Amino acid sequence: MERKETLSLLCVLVCVWTQATYTQGSTKVPEDFTPEPIVLPHFTSCRSREQETFRCWWSTGSLANLSEPGALAVFFHQNNLMPIGWQECPDYTATVENECYFNKSFTHIWTSYCVQLRATSQNITYDEYCFTVENIVHPDPPVGLNWTLLNVSRSGINFDILVRWAPPPSADVQTGWMSLKYEVHYRVRNASHWDKLEQESGSQQSIYGLQTDKEYEVRIRCKMSAFDNFGDFSESVFVQVAPIPTKVSVFPMALLLVFGVVGMLFLLVLIIFSQQQRLMVILLPPVPAPKIKGIDPELLKKGKMDQLNSLLSSQHMYNHDTYREDPWVEFIQLDLDDACEKNENSDTQRLLGLTRPGLKGDDDSGRASCYDPDFLPDTEGLLAAHSEMEERHPLVSESSPSTPSPELAETPFFPVQSQPVSQSWINMDFYAQVSDVTPAGAVVLSPGQQNDTPSKNPVDKTKKEEEEAGKEEEHEKKMKLQLLVVDPDRGYSHEVIARQVESSGAPFCSAPEIAYHTLPPEPAEEPHGWHGEYLAPDGEAQMAYFLPEAPPASMLPPVSDYTVVQEVDDQRSLLLNPSARQSPACPPNPIKHLPSMPAVPVGYLTPELLENLSP
């Protein structure tokens, strides 16, 4: 880069030097060069002003000997029908040097002229010029140029003028000999550019759009129409219009504007300060807090559990703990819708009767619970074992005439527990109706609502047992003591029922449900009585009407927690070791009479026993 720059600089310098030397050389050696070219005499111009006369001018040139007056002569020749030949200039103007004037007699329009410049002493023609007169007409400038103000704009900035003139007096326009075209020029004074307005004919012209604060210069010239030779310009006329003092109107406007702006600013500031909060919100909106869709956060803060539960459960994102703990609930299937509907008892029964986990040993009950497990608040130790039962109590099923079997709702039934009565009672679910109070002091709870038909009350226990496999753990009470939540569908393992079974054979043909709560304070009462009471001689009929009065005090002996299962029925119902009594057999349910079993420790059913029991 630097090299290139230096090279260019060098070149420039060399060029300049050579040019300088050349010019110097040229000027310094005058002898070698001709000082200046010789200018011969020649015609400078020929002009006609009015198309009636014309003049020709010439210059003598640089020759010194020809500059004397009279050394040159002008000869002219006109091409008309009468060829006269060359004539000398008719009139050499005395006052003007080197001018030849042709007057009217020598001027013929539409005739071509040729003028020659000859040396008088020698026969040398220096110059010749041919023309026709109409082509050398340059009219005189118009005269009488003046202007008048047409109007001034409202704002006082612009104005219009009307320029008038008169045709040159030399031009004979009146006779129509010459028709002139005018051209008006105007410019701002001392500007370099002229604006032109061409006028076809006439003697006036309007100029629009001039500005009041400037001075204008106007001039005019003319030419013959259909010819191209303009004459000289006229004298310039200066135009200036004093600007109307519009400051008065401008000043208030400016003031108004300023005041308006100030007022607006003031208002804006006021608004900003008064509505600061709102503006802050608008400009910087608060970040919205995380929100659970569909749930009012206020409710979360203040709401009650019920509402929350309902809300959240509806959101499908919150599962009650009972769900977790009772997975088998998912698999519950409703056998019959009627069973759910008609068994109000089952509600209470279910509430009352809770099964332990694993009692059935079969998690898949296949029967859905009609009732929401949520109804069981206290789930510990409470299992709806009934739900696992898929089979209905055979006794119940066979005792179809009484029919409540389908109505039997599946309710978790309360397993036989070895717990004391009170405890078991405590474990009982929410509520049960006290149907009667035994003289012994036991409270007989009825399972259902008040409007329960008596037919429904009894015999829930007559349900079937659970499956034998799961039954083992079940502790059957000798005395039906606690909740009798029996679901014929599910089966159950309740000693009472067992007793009923064994005693009555198939006393539980009808399968109404009954939740029987007995609160026998006395333990180990004789179950017989109770059973006996329970088991009416006419099993079936009695069953149906087995009502709260059924269990007199004697009938409600405290049921022991455990009962030995003596036998498993062919329908897989457990036959508990009871008293030796035998219930009136339900014909459809032949009951085997259990062989008397050796006394077994109450409470536990060993597998060996079970084997023995199994038919």
In the bound state with another protein, the residue whose beta carbon lies nearer, of 83 and 290, is 83
**Cβ distance to another protein smaller for residue 8 or 80:** 80
Nearer to another protein, 111 or 212 (CB): 111
Spatial separation of the C-alpha atoms in residues 604 and 615, rounded to whole Å? 19
* Separation of alpha carbons 501 and 531, rounded Å: 10
Closest approach, Cβ 72 to another protein, in A, equals: 19
Nearer to another protein among residue 202 and residue 297 (C-beta): 202
Is there a contact between 390 and 368 (Cβ–Cβ < 8 Å)?
no
**DSSP class per residue in 224-284:** ETT---B------EEE--PPP--HHHHHHHHHHHHHHHHHHHHHHHHHHHHTHHHHHHHHS
Rounded to the nearest whole angstrom, what is the least distance from the CB of residue 18 to another protein in the complex? 39
Considering the complex, what minimum distance in angstroms separates the CB of residue 228 from another protein?
Answer: 8
Residues that bind another protein (CB under 8 A): 51-52, 79-81, 104, 107-114, 128-132, 134, 172-177, 179, 201, 225-227
User: Given the complex with another protein, which of 174 and 277 has the nearer CB atom?
Assistant: 174
Q: How far is the CB of 236 from another protein (least distance, A)?
A: 28
Residue whose tokens read 């970040």: 287
Q: Which is nearer to another protein, 230 or 331 (CB)?
A: 230
Give CA–CA dist 112/422, Å, rounded: 156
In the block, residue with structure tokens 């002008």: 74
Nearer to another protein, 56 or 340 (CB): 56
Instruction: Please report how close the Cβ of residue 135 comes to another protein at its closest, in angstroms.
Output: 9
Give helix then strand counts, H and E, for the chain: 16, 18
In the complex, the smallest distance separating the C-beta of residue 183 from another protein, rounded to whole angstroms, is 17
Which helix H or strand E contains 151, and what residues bound it? Answer: strand 143-152
Nearer to another protein, 114 or 585 (CB): 114
Which lies closer to another protein via its Cβ, residue 85 or residue 176?
Answer: 176
Nearest to 396 by CA among 493, 475, 503, 513: 513
Q: How far apart are CA 335 and CA 201, in angstroms?
A: 119
**Which residue number, 112 or 614, has a Cβ lying nearer to another protein?**
112
Q: What is the closest distance, in whole angstroms, from the C-beta atom of residue 125 to another protein in the complex?
A: 12
The residue assigned the tokens 């003598």 is 60
Token pair 């079937």 is at which residue?
A: 464
* Residue in the block written with tokens 């459960």: 313
**Rounded to the nearest whole angstrom, what is the least distance from the CB of residue 243 to another protein in the complex?**
39
Listing from the earlier edge strand, what are the strands of the sheet with 42-48?
42-48, 54-59, 99-102
Closest to another protein by CB, 112 or 333: 112
Burial class (CB in 10 A: 0-12, 13-18, 19+), 130: middle
Return d(Cα 389, Cα 408) in angstroms, integer: 13
Minimum Å distance from CB 120 to another protein?
22
Alpha carbon 615 to its chain's center:
76
Please state the φ and ψ torsions of residue 375, each to the nearest 5 degrees. -70, -10
CB of 134 to another protein, least distance (A): 6
| Shortest spacing between CB 114 and another protein, in angstroms | 6
Of 217, 221, 215, the residue nearest 199 (C-alpha): 221
Residues paired with residue 219 on neighbouring β-strands, in sequence order: 185
Token reading at 86: 């060359």
**Measured distance CA(480)–CA(414) in Å, rounded:** 11
